[in-house]
Structure 1
Amino acid sequence: MDLNLSAVTRPVERLMATAQNGFEVLRWGGLETGVVPSPFQIVESKPMYKLRRYFPPDNRPGQPPAGPPVLMVHPMMMSANMWDVTQEDGAVGILHAAGIDPWVIDFGSPDEVEGGMERTLTDHIVALDEAIDTIKETTGHDVHLAGYSQGGMFCYQTAAYRRSKDIASIVAFGAPVDTLAALPMGIPANFVAVAADFMADHVFNRVDITGWMARTGFQMLDPLKTAKARVDFMRQLHDRDALLPREQQRRFLDSEGWIAWSGPAVSELLKQFIAHNRMMTGGFAINGQLVTLSDITCPVLAFVGEVDDIGQPASVRGIKRAAPSADVYEVTIRAGHFGLVVGSKAATTTWPTVADWVLWLSGQDPRPANISPMEDSAAEPEDSGVALSSRIIHGVAEASGLAVSLVRGAADAVVNANKSMRLLAIETARTLPRLVRLGQINDHTRISLARIIDEQADGAPNGEFLIFDGRVHTYEGVNCRINNVVRGLIRVGVRQGVRVGVLMDTRPSALVAIAALSRLGAVAVLMPPDADLDEAVRLGGVTEVITDPGNLEAARKLPVQILVLGGGESRDLNLPADSGVIDMEKIDPDTVALPGWYRPNPGLARDLAFVAFSTIGGELVPKQITNYRWALSAFGTASAAALGRSDTVYCLTPLHHQSGLLVSLGGAVVGGARIALSRGLQPDRFAAEIRRYGVTVVSYTWAMLRELIEDPAFTPHRNHPVRLFIGSGMPTGLWQRVVDAFTPANIVEFFATTDGQTVLANVAGAKVGSKGRPLPGGGEVELAAYDPDDDLILEDDRGFVQVAQANQAGLLLARPRGPIDPTASVKRGVFAPGDTWISTEYVFRRDADGDFWLLGNRNTLIRAPRGVVFPEPITEAMGRIAAVDLAATYGVEGPGGTVAVTAITLRPGLSVTVADLSEAVAAMPFGLGPDVIHVVPSLPLSATYRPTVSALRAAGVPKPSRNSWYFDADTGKYTRLTAAARAALVGSQS
């Protein structure tokens, strides 16, 4: 009878309990647990945040002092109450019980605060920075920062911003650092970067994330786990005792724990730390100040969740490489993202470990046994986080516990098969529009530097553009400054087509001045400060000169109107009233009415845009640069270097140099990248700025980087952000040393003629010394078969020029596009009736793969009695000798003919042998070796770091010494140069 009664009453009791508990959940959102929040005191209250101190001391006599302070930081989308879900098992309760002083920063709900939905990521970091100061002042102790997920990112960023000042350590739970190192399902990093950039610029600049959206998004990251938790809850709804221990956590995740997320903050997160991955590269901006995690010097403890899909292990462990100066430790827990900080494993492992860590660093306890130094291992570039197969296994196991090991191989195969195709498609999508636009430019196309800046400012006004002295300026900010300077130029009478000299050191005001003249349609004559300025004024046809305060004294000696721009708000020019100098900074742009003739960015491709100067044979030579010439280099650089918004181009060359203007500035503007202006090449400054700025691309000219590589104090960290060096003229030996020092960075070497009709680029970098191939969209080039002995272009039976065959000397010709320089060597009827080509006067060979190799300038080939000697192959061959630093080949005129001489300098502590020289020349794929090789103490470098030989040539054939050798025709090898051998070279030829 009792059994029958139980069979009836138990289901009824279960049904009634289910109904009662379900009603309570429906009415109140959950079960009443009776849990009381931990006590806390609001120490500081501001619109941006409130600072809580849990279990505040009552300051009664005899009470023990508070322990080391730990400040806990929640992510933007979660409530600060996450640290106190339950007093017994929550973070603040466990830490307090262990003798720790717990503090919590509460950013509140931004949708409930006036202006809250306008908050940026920077606002949160500045708030955390202020909170640290408050805790330090209150307790007198350095602060331990503890951050979950994005809160951990805040901790890293703030510590870097403060240079670790007053920070005892950082504890991060599932906090991503290398956000592009662990992507799901093999998604290429470039794809994610492009998508994040798009979402930042076109979605979250208009849309905010509400609390329910944040909750839904979090749950959708693991829908099977979410569904399983809800099913388990429904199945146990009758058993209140079973549900109560987890009820606070369930309510937190299902409803109470989620808060709104402002669109600007989301946009900044996507742009800086996902699209551009600047936690790893450095160069993220806080209040206009550039910051890098390499400035973190305090100890770091990272909690890694083995099945964490959000803070994936490879991403979390990026902190080891991003903060090389910090001691980094880790704890690995078999938990998901939220399980790292809330739940049974957090209560038994995470928070006791945090307490032990803090006490260890305070000198009270030994190092916890379950923490270990994080291994110093770089993330593999081909890794894409948790593989698709692993996700399938994890998902199915979460739902049913089934083993699906057979799926692993098939899933990984699908991922790998599609990876290369996606990467190719992404790079094509990035570069193709640039090449198409370049190919569409004709004489009447409106194109200019200022026009491209205008386009970038319109498309991404908040995009970061210009970096100088640790500060960053947006496209909108720079563009506004350019427009203001244009108004000032109009006020002083500058009109379209006028030639205005720019005499300024490399600084933001110099860039603005050049761009303002471009916007006005005037011609910027770029005057090197160390040149003959009177001659530059004469050759450039200058009527006014814009200068900065540093060059004002030199400018005032010139017979032209002087305009002063830049130099800071507090500058005092100390000029007499009758000086005639116009201070552009005193012109109020709002009072300048724009004349009817003014049209912004009127420059056509054919129009002269700039005049630059080179020094040839000690004389200043003007180089005219049209808008087409500028566009060809700018678009070509952006395409060859695959420049995008995640890049920062470090401009080592002055803006008055063609490399700075055309390659660095031009490529950065067209690519939408940031350009970092340098005050000059200094090894210590270089090392600091590439990390702080997050430099990914470095520009150079000739042997510029030699000063860096050869400096004994320079030791680049292997986790540098540089991916590419771009420039022209790098010596072959230096090329290899740069690649070795900056692995895995590559080099893109350009060759461009002054008129811009020819641009070659060695994009792959596999053939050291090659000038590469013509840039797509950059114009047609061809090699005309050339007889160097008779200095003749070879023709066929019909009188047309022959095309040079593979590995045959040829004269490089270019089919003209845009205006033709009046001094150019124009040839017609070359390969077909009526065609027109321009001779570059450079001799090349083209190998079997189609790559071009420079042999020398037509006028500088050395015609020795043995035959024509091509200087470039010899210089390249010498540079490949490990002991050789620099090399240069030149001709010395003698009574009986020209002697081909190669001068080399040696790297410190190394020497060269006759065998080295003979083997290097024998390995040359083309041309004869020099008559004489000699070691010199140094090779003078020009202002562009190009080796010069005028003094060596004037000194004649080298004298006999232990470091001079000549080519012995009888043996076919090099031997020590003696007096008799020198006399034979010089005297017997007479």
Structure 2
Amino acid sequence: MVDLSAITGPVGRLVATAQNGLEVLRYGGLETGAVPSPFQIIESVPMYRLRRYFPPDSRPGAKPAGPPVLMVHPMMMSADMWDVTREDGAVGILHRAGIDPWVIDFGSPDKMEGGMQRTLADHIVALSAAIDTVKTVTGRDIHLAGYSQGGMFTYQTAAYRRTKDIASIVAFGAPVDTLAALPMNLPATLAPAAADFMADHVFSRIDIPGWLARTGFQMLDPIKTAQSRIDFLRQLHDREALLPREQQRKFLASEGWIAWSGPAISELLKQFIAHNRMMTGGFSIHGDLVTLSDIDCPVLAVIGEVDDIGQPASVRGIKRAAPKADVYEFLIRAGHFGLVVGSKASDQTWPTVADWVRWLDGGGSMPDGVSPMALQPTEASESGVTLTSRLAHSTAAATEMAFSLARSAADALVSANRSARTLAVETARTLPRLARLGQVNDHTRISLGRIMSEQARDFPQGEALLFDGRVHTYEAVDRRVNNVVRGLIEVGVRQGARVGVLMDTRPSALVAIAALSRLGAVAVMLPPDADLAAAVELAAVSEVIADPSSLDAARRLEMRVLVLGGGESRDLHVPADADVIDMERIDPDRVELPGWYRPNPGLARDLAFVAFSTVSGQLVARQITNFRWALSAFGTASAANLSRSDTVYCLTPLHHQSGLLVSLGGAVVGGARIALSRELRPDRFVQEIRQYGVTVVSYTWAMLREVIDDPAFSLTGNHPVRLFIGSGMPTGLWKRVVEVFEPANVVEFFATTDGQAVLANVKGAKIGSKGRPLPGGGEIALAAYDPEEDLILEDEQGFVRRADTNEVGVLLARPRGPVDPLASVKRGVFAPADTWVSTEYLFRRDEDGDYWLVDNRAAVIHTERGPVFAATVNDAAGRLGAVDMAVTYGVEVDGETIAVTALALHPGGSVPSADLSEALADLPVGEAPDLVHVVNDMTLTATYRPLAGPLQQQGIPKASRNAWYRDPDSTRYKRLTAAVRNEIAGNRS
């Protein structure tokens, strides 16, 4: 008897396969009979439509709606993702749990007028408006739920609103620390450059259509995509087996993908991949600067163990980025899409989200599986999803193993060469700068104005200037500079004129300095705390540019005052006959440029700026050429490795050489953003470094003591700072700064006022060292020196002898460019007819070639025991844990000099005698001080440099438990009693 089933079975399968396949070809899938969940359009505007699913019954006695959840889809996916299947979709499950589901639908931008010009910021502002609408309709705070990039939107919008009207955030696979773990294990060190390139040169010209978004998503996991297609084909004969997953398959295969506008992609790549500003802060939303550190509502991060797009290390970055928020996590063994759609999502994700909302709404307990997120390490990881997780997740074990083993081998190679790769990236940035600096000669056209013009030409929409929570592009700043140039021409300022700048640190001050540079005039940087009349006389100033707050001081100089800044509508309140010109009232479009004007005419040899310093109580004008400015600017950008990913916080006043040459110069050359602060305020410092995404902080001397010693100072969670750059930081304060701001480093500079000698401690490993010659700078040497006789030592041939290792020497520099008329020039130093400039500073060079400041040649304290070098003593004392600052000075008693060191301690600090003796026992050069005492405070200059003069005037310190003398017999420090003090004073009186 013939078994007919053996024949009919295969034939039936073949027929069913053909029928189902034909249906798929004709209609894109199998007809499931599914109907979407009901929703009402509450708001419809060009940017979005706001859906309310399962709108509540408005009749009297109807059950009120539950807490609202507003769900946000990523830009490349349709908003229908929340309702792929009515029974198992997000909106259906939440509704049955008593939640009020809302969905924002950004639509298909390629089908809307102007849709393909949408930016990332447009979406965030739109989501913020939708939150306002939901709040108005429901009267309740909103729980934001976002998937993938939609989760990023929820974080960014919450920060933009400072969590106003937001009850909580639920983010599914939403990357925050995008460089911690990139998809497909792309190396984090190369990603910023690649993202910048793609943003500037690819997506500035093209968009991504829906089919390409789908293809790109599938290519991120090609094995799983191929497996799903094979499984579908193998089961094509079994309609009943396919139907439960058919809606999801059709969504992923075709229906769920929409176009993605190029400007939005560019902004995503620039702000959140190239610059990782979800972590650092300082991302721009239509000109407003935003930071995730402003989020203070509860956060639930839903994490997929095998999610290779929103990788766990990246998603968990929210814990560090939002230190004020209570952050929780829910870990699910799923891939990226499986977090929100599919069986695991319906069984685990959405019931947990419903429980989360009820818990926060006061109607339940913390959901099972939800736990507080632990703080993750700050180091970036490139390991991605582990091999074990991949193998366990995939059904194609052999294929997955081969794929993952190959990737693991690549990871090992990447890890082994990570330092070389980082060096290559830094070298690619640094070498062109050094090469350009090396090509500069007297006739090279180079200036601040010229570099700013180049940046505006190359990166017109690049972010240049941050101030008062707003961002200004290079194009906008450059346009403002050109307008001020026209105003200066209109009032008669010509190339070569010396114009005083008396302005607070603000955008108008930066613009004024740049405009004078572009005009070819000389900006004379007037320090507000100095004798202004003496300063303008020394520098031969013809007129002064002032801001409104400095107008009264400027008018007392009895010369023409040009007022810039503050807007056109302000009233300056000056007499009609006053020699004051309001620059804001000049219409630049009506100014005809004269024939002599050429923008940025400055040559390297030309005088660009005049700054001031005080030497022995006398005001001294320091001339700064364009070459001197370029040397510091290019050197700083190279030493600090500044790039477009950096934001330089310019705390240093622009009238100070460090602010002008290091902060402003380095940022402009490096293409970094410049964040200006009105003043140093400890209560504003932490807020601004997070709001602006500050990566580099400038300082002078003990400036940062004002911040970290303030009782209100608190630094919790993540901070974006990687470097502090400046000069003069005391070693004790330096040590505390790197401890408080770990893992940030300090790059300490030393530069003579004429710029002939520039040193930089780039590595920061040796606290207190001035480092080595700045790349691209001039040649330096140490001339052997006898401090007792104040003589530079010579060899048998009569040439100057070079100082040996750890021997005190005078720092000499081989001049490059014009030599300051006040400089000490020496010839025939190391060879016949050679020329060197003496800096008059004493240094020693250690075994590794690093330079340490010893003292100023004229300031050496000569005691009976031998010379005491102030800087050496201060460095040694500063290594005591309690010491912030140390100042060493000489006190004359009956014709003899004793050396005294004053210590300023950080709050709560104390110095045991034994520790003091140990710290000062083995100075590398010179003698230890005779007396040491603790002072409550020190007098600081406007640039936070501690002054010895006020302490010297007090003479021998009083006896106290915080004063010590050096016992000549034991060479140890003992408590200074009244009897010992009287003996010291009596023996010398």
TM-score by length of 1: 0.97
Q: CA RMSD in A?
A: 2.1
> Where does residue 71 of structure 1 map in the other structure?
70
- 2:368 is aligned with 1:369: yes
Q: Which amino acid aligns with 1:308?
A: D
CA distance in 1, matches of 2:13, 2:185: 48
Match of 1:12, as an amino acid?
A: V
* Equivalent in the alignment of 1:106: 105
Query: What per-residue deviation string (whole Å, max 9, x for no partner) do you get for residues 172-201 of structure 1?
Result: 100000101113576542311111112112
Q: Which stretch of structure 1 is more off in the superposition, 610-619 or 659-668?
A: 610-619
- Does the residue aligned with 1:297 lie in a helix, a strand or coil? coil
| Structure 1: distance between partners of 2:832 and 2:369 | 82
Aligned to 2:59: 60
Deviation by residue 1:744-779 (Cα, 9 ceiling, x = unmatched): 111111111000111111111111111111111111
Is 198-207 or 902-911 further displaced after alignment?
902-911
Q: Indicate the SS of the match to 1:922.
A: coil
Secondary structure of the residue aligned to 1:32 is coil
Q: What is the Cα deviation at residue 615 of structure 1?
A: 3.1
Take 1:644 and 1:166, find their aligned partners in 2: how far apart are those partners?
37
1:481 maps to what in 2? 480
Alignment deviations for residues 789-843 of structure 1 (CA, whole Å, 9 cap, x no partner): 2222122222221111111111111111111111111112211222211111111
1:125-180 CA-to-partner distances (Å, cap 9, x unmatched) read 00000000001101111111110000000000001111111111111100000101
Closer/same/farther in 2, CA of residues 48 and 569 from structure 1, 3 Å limit: farther
How far the C-alpha of 1:357 sits from its partner, in A, is 1.3
The corresponding residue for 1:748 is 747
Secondary structure at 1:368 match in 2: coil
User: Which residue does the alignment assign to 1:504?
Assistant: 503
Q: In the TM superposition, what whole-angstrom CA distance separates every residue of 1:252-273 from its partner, at most 9, and x where no partner exists?
A: 1111111111111111101111
Deviations 1:57-96 (A, max 9, x none): 2412222111111111000011111111111111111111
**8 Å contact from structure 1 (residues 160, 293) kept in 2:** yes
1:319, distance to aligned residue in structure 2 (A)? 0.9
Instruction: Tell me the SS of whatever aligns to 2:873.
Output: helix
Distance 2:57 2:67 in 1: 17
Aligned pairs for 1:661-740 (under 5 A) are 661-740=660-739
CA pair 838-386 structure 1, distance change in 2 beyond 3 A: farther
Q: Where does residue 121 of structure 2 map in the other structure?
A: 122
8 A Cα contact 2:799 2:831, kept in partner: yes
Report SS of the residue matched to 2:920.
helix
Between 729-738 and 370-379, the greater mean CA deviation after superposition: 370-379
Moved more, 862-871 or 448-457: 862-871
Superposed, which structure 2 residues align to 1:13-24 within 5 Å? 13-24=12-23
Matches within 5 A, 1:247-646: 247-386=246-385, 397=396, 400=399, 412-646=411-645
Deviation readout 1:195-228 (Å, 9 max, x if unpaired): 1112112211112111111111111111111111
In the other structure, the counterpart of 1:891 is 890
In structure 2, C-alpha distance between the alignment counterparts of 1:952 and 1:379, rounded to whole Å: 44
Contact kept, 8 Å, 1:389 with 1:407, in 2: the verdict is no
| Contact in 2 for aligned 1:188/1:384 (Cα 8 Å) | no
Q: Which stretch of structure 1 is more off in the superposition, 560-569 or 840-849? A: 560-569
Partner of residue 838, structure 2: 839
Distance 1:849 1:210, change over 3 A: same
- Return the alpha-carbon distance in structure 2 between the equivalents of residues 409 and 575 of structure 1: 73
Q: Distance in 1 between matches of 2:457 and 2:469?
A: 25
Matching of residues 724-873 of structure 1 within 5 Å: 724-873=723-872
Supply the distance in 1 between the matched residues of 2:960 and 2:218 (Cα, whole angstroms): 79
1:374–1:64: structure 2 CA closer, same or farther, 3 Å change rule?
same
Deviation by residue 1:532-582 (Cα, 9 ceiling, x = unmatched)? 222222122111211111111222222221111111344222344433321
- Paired amino acid for 1:881: L
Paired letter, 2:308: D
Kept in 2, the 8 Å contact 1:69–1:144? The answer is: yes
Task: Tell me the equivalent position of 1:164.
Answer: 163
Distance 2:578 2:955 in 1: 51
Distance 1:833 1:396 in 2: 81
Conserved? CA contact 2:306–2:390, under 8 Å: no
Query: Letter of the aligned partner of 1:456 in structure 2?
Result: Q
Secondary structure of the corresponding residue to residue 190 of structure 1: coil
State the Cα distance separating 1:973 from its structure 2 match. 2.5
Amino acid at match of 2:698: S
Task: Spell out, residue by residue over 1:276-314, the C-alpha distance to the aligned partner (whole angstroms, 9 max, x if none).
Answer: 111111111112111111111111111100000000001
Q: Can you list the C-alpha shifts for 1:858-899, whole angstroms capped at 9, x where unaligned?
A: 111112222222111111111122333321111223444322
CA contact (8 A) 2:931 2:965 kept: yes
Where 1:638 maps in the other structure, the secondary structure is helix
Tell me the CA shift for residue 20 of structure 1. Answer: 1.9
* Count of aligned positions: 989
Match of 1:876 in 2: 875
Q: Identical aligned pairs, as a percentage?
A: 74
Kindly indicate whether the alpha-carbon contact (under 8 Å) linking 1:186 and 1:415 is maintained by their aligned counterparts in 2.
no
C-alpha contact (below 8 Å) 2:731/2:885 kept by paired residues: no
Cα distance change of structure 1 residues 542 and 92 upon mapping to structure 2, 3 Å threshold: same
Equivalent-residue separation in structure 2 for 1:601 and 1:551 (angstroms): 28
Q: Partner of 1:554: helix, strand, or coil? A: helix
Partner of 2:652: 653
8 Å Cα contact 1:185-1:415 kept in structure 2: no
- The answer to whether the 8 Å contact 1:651/1:675 transfers is yes
Shift in alpha-carbon separation, 1:978–1:311, aligned structure 2, 3 A: closer
Counterpart mapping for 1:909-948 below 5 A: 909-948=908-947
Q: How far apart, CA to CA, are the structure 1 residues paired with 2:906 and 2:84?
A: 65
Structure 1: unaligned runs, 5 residues or longer: none
Measured at CA, do residues 332 and 986 of structure 1 come closer, stay the same or move farther in structure 2, by a change above 3 Å?
Answer: same
Mean CA deviation greater in 179-188 or 537-546: 179-188
Q: Determine the C-alpha separation between the residues in 2 that align with 1:389 and 1:195.
A: 30
State the one-letter code of the partner of 2:145. A
Does the 8 Å CA contact 1:812/1:841 hold for their aligned counterparts?
A: yes
Q: What whole-Å deviation, never above 9, does each CA across 1:685-704 have from its counterpart, x for those lacking one? A: 11211111111111111111
Distance of aligned partners of 1:390 and 1:612 in 2 relative to their CA distance in 1, 3 Å threshold: farther
Task: Report 1:78-89 matches (<5 A).
Answer: 78-89=77-88
Specify the code of the residue in structure 2 equivalent to 1:54. Y
Work out the CA distance in 1 between the residues paired with 2:351 and 2:975: 75
SS across alignment from 1:455:
helix
* Aligned-partner Cα distance in 2 for 1:711–1:41: 54
On the 8 A contact 1:784/1:793 being kept in 2, the answer is yes
Q: Does 2:138 correspond to 1:147? A: no
Q: What is the letter of the counterpart of residue 471 of structure 1?
A: R
Do 2:317 and 2:376's aligned partners in 1 also have CA atoms closer than 8 Å?
no
One-letter code of the match for 1:454? S
1:137 aligns with 2:130: no
Query: After the TM superposition, which of the residue ranges 259-268 and 353-362 deviates more from structure 2?
Result: 353-362
1:330 Cα deviation from its structure 2 partner: 1.1
CA contact (8 A) 1:861 1:868 kept: yes
The one-letter amino acid paired with 2:246 is E
Moved more, 271-280 or 973-982: 973-982
Preserved CA contact (<8 Å) 1:181 1:384: no
What do the CA deviations read for 1:407-462 (whole angstroms, capped 9, x no partner)?
Answer: 79755533321222212211211222212222222211111111111111112111
Q: How many Å separate the matches in 1 of 2:794 and 2:394?
A: 72
Q: Distance in 2 between matches of 1:69 and 1:937?
A: 57
One-letter amino acid of the structure 2 residue matched with residue 605 of structure 1: A
Amino acid paired to 1:547: A
User: Cα offset for 1:401?
Assistant: 6.4
* Partner-residue secondary structure (3-state), 2:369: coil
* CA shift in 2, pair 1:54/1:860, >3 Å: same
Q: Within 2, Cα distance between the matches of 1:388 and 1:434?
A: 42
Q: Which residue of 1 aligns with 2:223?
A: 224
Asked if structure 1 preserves the Cα contact closer than 8 Å seen for 2:307 and 2:385, the reply is no
Provide the rounded CA distance (Å) in 2 between the counterparts of 1:860 and 1:175. Answer: 60
